[in-house]
Amino acid sequence: MANDTVTVCEVGPRDGLQMARDILPTEVKLRWIRQLAQAGLREIEVGSFVSPERVPQMADTAAVVRGALAIEGLTVCALAGNLRGVVAAHAAGAHVVAIPISVSDTHSRANVNKGTDAQIEMVRSAVDWVRAQARPMRIDVAAATAFGCSMEGQVPLQRVVDVAAALAATGADTIALADTVGYANPAQVRATVRAVRAAVGPRLSKLHLHDTMGMGLANALAGLDEGIRAFDSCLGGLGGCPFAPGASGNIVTEDLVFMLANMGHATGIRHAALVAARQLLADALPGETLRGATAVAVLPRSFAG
């Protein structure tokens, strides 16, 4: 249904930068985040509380979170892979903590050195800890590798449903399905969203899609058709998982916003401002390739986004 609101969460400062060859200085990250917010993005994943030895690009996340909190109207999200990271996100003042739980046990061990079941129990402990704090913090969990794994190959649908149901039972606020390595196809997205929603209801709210096989926007459209109204994306299509061989970038924020606007969905995001923000990335990360069609195309005269 058109004319309804779709939430786009920009994950570039986290997912987009964690694979970058160069490390952006904190002040450059914050300048980029401010540009994104000025373009109309109201939720941005600004970093991750993970080991700086494994992901040095994220070593300054606490400072980035604190700086981003000064941006009026912005929901500041940070990723965490364990309870220590959740506590650090709360201490820094994050409004939202996102916790990825891999459906693929092999990927889970490569990513966080723990199996899937142990990670689900960690989420339960994290939820209990956050609920005991005076300041609330939203807890978003993502079923990663929900559409396939470069290590295990096909991930059975029932396994995805079981993991999602277990995550719902922890008391987390929302659940996302993540195509971590970009193997999904639209039919699979439709079937998986339907099956997971039957198990967890409206708690399933978001898709996190990658464009490894060039089907990212087609998969987003399939999710829209199934009622999904929240998506992660990245300016310039940067990103990927350093612990999932073959994973490439996220779906391109500029292209996603263009598609949504042309379909009549409200995002509150100005496409032209997104395109302008690409220059900062191009200057700061000269070794990275920025992807996306609508940033370089001649847009239709009828497009007013």
Q: Which residues contact 1 (CB under 8 A, 6 or more apart)?
A: none
149 in catalytic set: no
- The CA distance from 282 to 285, in Å, is 5
Side-chain-side CA neighbours of 299 within 13 Å: the count stands at 19
CA nearest neighbour of 160 among 214, 112, 204: 204
Tokens found for residue 197: 């929603």
Tokens found for residue 283: 């200057």
- The CA distance from 162 to 152, in Å, is 17
Phi, psi of 113 (to 5 degrees): 65, 25
Which of helix, strand or coil describes residue 97?
Answer: strand
- Among 77, 149, 234, 241, the one annotated catalytic: 241
Q: Which residues pair with 49 in a beta bridge?
A: 80
- Is the distance from CB of 131 to CB of 114 less than 8 angstroms? no
Which of helix, strand or coil describes residue 136?
Answer: coil
- The CA distance from 273 to 283, in Å, is 16
Catalytic residues: 241
